[in-house]
Structure 1
């Protein structure tokens, strides 16, 4: 029979080998004296003593700490390179542990600090251009346009509201995007500025979706190198499920973005995200879209409304009258038929293009006269301001001050567009 092992100092790292020998001999002794019952006593006592450690002794996991990492990495004892530290690599730098969707374990996720979501307006809160659209290849919700592979017969994109207190999509979102198409392929598309974004990295796209009838969908991600740049490169995408039901469900896609080493980056490069419902007639609803670094979808990042609007205005800004005679710009009259005014706006990523509502919806207010415009345009356009040129038929006096205003219109608008 195996003898009872002698007392051994196992309190320091230098005694690790001795500790292993001691526990091996102790287990053998108890098994020899009490058989299977002795072995169980050994395991129970060690498990109790290490209840919070989640360690393995002699190859037997005595207490599972319940931490599971991505790609099969687990918290194991730190003996000889099988511990948590050994399971991690330099690619895990900056990641964090989060509770998984089932609430049963911890998993390795991307960093949880702010701005981890590369999608702007993924919650569909900002709709500067309106809330209902019937054309393709135009922007709808801010930062979202509709791509097509063929001209559809009929298409509508609209802002829809969640019921207060619903629980199908967490976080109490207010709105979602609805695509209603009669035929052909049309889909929501998002462009993330700069093809360097997550290049050579693994990323995760997550979103909630449902359809008017059971259908399918797909996700594609492309690296667009811009004008004068290298040819488009498609990323490798693994979608959690191609099937879409009539109730809200969360979908994830793992994206392997290729390295851009050796590529030429041109003007206006971007990463293109396409969420593509099946061809043919379908109603497709989309909510809480997130694109982030790492193998795991973290909870949706809810940025403050003012921050999200500011991010949108880096690309596009619509100034709308809202009151009948809103002043858009101030300046001076330089002739009997023309005035100039300076308009300031949020800084844009590049010098924008300005577009205007019908000229007659604007006027030049110059003290005693306020003639309607016959033409409106812009010059000296910079990233933060420009000059508006206002032309009228007659009635202005050179040298007077001038306000460029809405002409009894609450819907007159000026678009300041620096989209990719």
Structure 2
């Protein structure tokens, strides 16, 4: 139930600095901040042939605590609080680092916006050292009887400490049914990417459409694409790049001078409308828009 537990997918990038609020790093994994804190995060590579973390992993996540009195650490949410309710589960993760003090690993049932108050299922504490160690937390997820469930409910995990500095390294996160932590098992990387894209999609590619040009108040161009993945929510947030200078709009030759009017997303369908750039074109002409990898659209449906 942990997607990207092996930290192989990094759609958002590989390095972040000056973070003062919670935000995602490797896909599905969040750097957690509460209160006043300054942190950084980055992708790190395992040495080929190392044996402390089994299975020959490639990457791990490093969180660096820079300063602050607030709380900082790692957070992960599994969609739907109904997941594994009333079952015995075991969560495990590998950690190391240079940060002193004592970290707390916690498991929660979060009933979402408008739902019942969150329940702390289990906690354990640990210090970390320069050597990789596996932390294990086993518990029975409580019954949902008498609870109400709101939007964005989840089973949540957090590894955190207040006011620390130094590095916290995390690898091979896993949740399984039962009271024993077994060997880490990663799915095929293409399936992991597909599962990650349900929550966050870095989109680049072609959209197809036509010249609409029906007069004032209406967009001049309508272009659509069907994504290969159904997003978690019907209308996720869509973020534009700071520039679209490398995008290509074609209709009887390349068009120029156009601007984005609006972008809409409905589970799998992406629609972009544009204004301008109509010179030499008439209503009904076919068109395509190339969104480039260096200036992608970011579609966010995360919890």
Aligned: 1:254 with 2:132: no
Aligned: 1:194 with 2:94: no
Instruction: Give the Å deviation of 1:279.
Output: 2.6
Larger Rg: 1
What do the CA deviations read for 1:215-253 (whole angstroms, capped 9, x no partner)?
42111122111122111111123x3x6121111111111
User: Is the alpha carbon distance of 1:334 and 1:189 closer, same or farther for their aligned partners in structure 2, counting shifts above 3 Å?
Assistant: same
TM-score (norm 2): 0.89
Give distance in 1, aligned partners of 2:167 and 2:133.
15
Structure with more relative contact order (C-alpha pairs < 8 Å, separation 6 or more): 2
User: Is the alpha carbon distance of 1:348 and 1:360 closer, same or farther for their aligned partners in structure 2, counting shifts above 3 Å?
Assistant: closer
Residue 231 (structure 1) aligned to one of 107, 112, 117: 117
Residue 388 (structure 1) aligned to one of 272, 287, 290: 272
Structure 1 window deviating more from structure 2 (210-219 vs 126-135): it is 210-219
Give distance in 2, aligned partners of 1:364 and 1:338.
12
| Map of 1:140 onto structure 2 | 25
What do the CA deviations read for 1:306-363 (whole angstroms, capped 9, x no partner)?
111111112111024xxxxxx4311111128721111111111221332221353334
User: Is the alpha carbon distance of 1:350 and 1:231 closer, same or farther for their aligned partners in structure 2, counting shifts above 3 Å?
Assistant: same
User: Is the alpha carbon distance of 1:278 and 1:164 closer, same or farther for their aligned partners in structure 2, counting shifts above 3 Å?
Assistant: farther
What do the CA deviations read for 1:80-107 (whole angstroms, capped 9, x no partner)?
xxxxxxxxxxxxxxxxxxxxxxxxxxxx
Structure 1 residue ranges without an equivalent (≥5): 1-117, 321-326
| Map of 2:233 onto structure 1 | 350
Greater percentage in helix = 1
C-alpha contact (below 8 Å) 2:199/2:302 kept by paired residues = yes
C-alpha contact (below 8 Å) 2:5/2:186 kept by paired residues = no
Give distance in 1, aligned partners of 2:244 and 2:258.
5
| Map of 1:417 onto structure 2 | 300
User: Is the alpha carbon distance of 1:177 and 1:122 closer, same or farther for their aligned partners in structure 2, counting shifts above 3 Å?
Assistant: same
Aligned: 1:220 with 2:121: no
| Map of 1:340 onto structure 2 | 222
Q: Secondary structure at the match of 2:78?
A: strand
Give distance in 1, aligned partners of 2:34 and 2:99.
22
Structure 2 residue ranges without an equivalent (≥5): none
Give distance in 1, aligned partners of 2:188 and 2:233.
25
C-alpha contact (below 8 Å) 2:259/2:276 kept by paired residues = yes
User: Is the alpha carbon distance of 1:383 and 1:246 closer, same or farther for their aligned partners in structure 2, counting shifts above 3 Å?
Assistant: same
C-alpha contact (below 8 Å) 2:95/2:169 kept by paired residues = yes
Give distance in 2, aligned partners of 1:213 and 1:145.
18
- Total equivalences in the alignment: 291
| Map of 2:36 onto structure 1 | 151
Q: Secondary structure at the match of 1:170?
A: coil
Residue 51 (structure 2) aligned to one of 162, 167, 175: 167
Structure 1 window deviating more from structure 2 (157-166 vs 137-146): it is 137-146
Residue 378 (structure 1) aligned to one of 251, 263, 267: 263
Instruction: Give the Å deviation of 1:415.
Output: 1.5
TM-score (norm 1): 0.65
Instruction: Give the Å deviation of 1:376.
Output: 4.8
| Map of 2:13 onto structure 1 | 130
Aligned: 1:263 with 2:147: yes
Aligned: 1:300 with 2:300: no
Structure 1 window deviating more from structure 2 (207-216 vs 360-369): it is 360-369
What do the CA deviations read for 1:36-79 (whole angstroms, capped 9, x no partner)?
xxxxxxxxxxxxxxxxxxxxxxxxxxxxxxxxxxxxxxxxxxxx
| Map of 2:283 onto structure 1 | 398
What is the Cα-based RMSD across aligned positions, in Å? Answer: 2.0
Q: Secondary structure at the match of 1:235?
A: strand
| Map of 1:39 onto structure 2 | none
Q: Secondary structure at the match of 1:307?
A: helix
